[in-house]
Amino acid sequence: MINIVIFGPPGSGKGTHSIKLAEKYQLFHLSTGDIFRYEINNKTPLGIEAKNYIDKGNLVPDDLVIKVLLSTLEKQKNAKGFIFDGFPRTIIQAQKLDEELNKKGIPINIVISLEVNDAEIITRLVKRGLDSGRSDDNETIIKQRLEIYKNQTAPLLDYYTKQNKLINIDGVGMIDNIFTNICNIIDDNF
């Protein structure tokens, strides 16, 4: 069992590398952003509520996000491990995640932090918005998401450093090279 958090600002490549890691290490890929987008597309009550926050570039409130976490963990009881992508995003979420995983005796093993500068993020996300049509990938909302990342999510770097779990990886460059660096870290540690 291995549980990995893939961490970083929006547009740092968390989703791309999570998909590859899930396949290589046979982990369940838990992306709260993907879950919310699925719920929004299906116009469920959760999706309708989440959309109010997502479209403005704000975080979905912790209680809703934690509900999604708990129901996914319950549904995926037999998973060989998890890759948490875009979760946790607040200290409260991180504490709840620790609490749930510790109860099950399957703690987070490692937190991979992808480091990408703001200018690169804005360029990547504006481009992604043109291709994907994601409502939150436009320059005004991207800047808001970056602000929220700095204020509410970046403090988790300290939280996981104190737990001795944080590994920084340069997230700029060729995807395959970055992925190799991530895998080397995982293979060296487990």
Residues found near ligand AMP in the complex (CB under 6 A): 10, 32-33, 36, 53-54, 58-60, 65, 86-89, 93, 136, 145
What separation in angstroms does the CA of 49 have from each of 36, 60, 145, 187? 10, 9, 18, 40
The H or E element spanning position 165 is none
Integer Cα distance of 110 and 161 in angstroms: 10
Which is it for the CA torsion 149, 150, 152, 154, positive or negative?
A: positive
- Minimum distance of ligand AMP from residue 187's CB (angstroms): 26
Please return the burial class of 173, using the count of CB atoms within 10 Å of its CB with bins 0-12, 13-18 and 19+.
Answer: exposed
- Minimum distance of ligand AMP from residue 82's CB (angstroms): 14
State which residue, 139 or 180, has the beta carbon closest to ligand AMP.
139
- Minimum distance of ligand AMP from residue 40's CB (angstroms): 9
Name 187's Cβ contacts closer than 8 Å, sequence gap at least 6. Answer: none
Integer Cα distance of 145 and 77 in angstroms: 32
Instruction: State the residue number with the nearest CB to ligand AMP.
Output: 33
State which residue, 10 or 13, has the beta carbon closest to ligand AMP.
10
State which residue, 32 or 113, has the beta carbon closest to ligand AMP.
32
State which residue, 136 or 178, has the beta carbon closest to ligand AMP.
136
SS3 174: coil
- Minimum distance of ligand AMP from residue 188's CB (angstroms): 27
State which residue, 98 or 184, has the beta carbon closest to ligand AMP.
98
- Minimum distance of ligand AMP from residue 53's CB (angstroms): 5
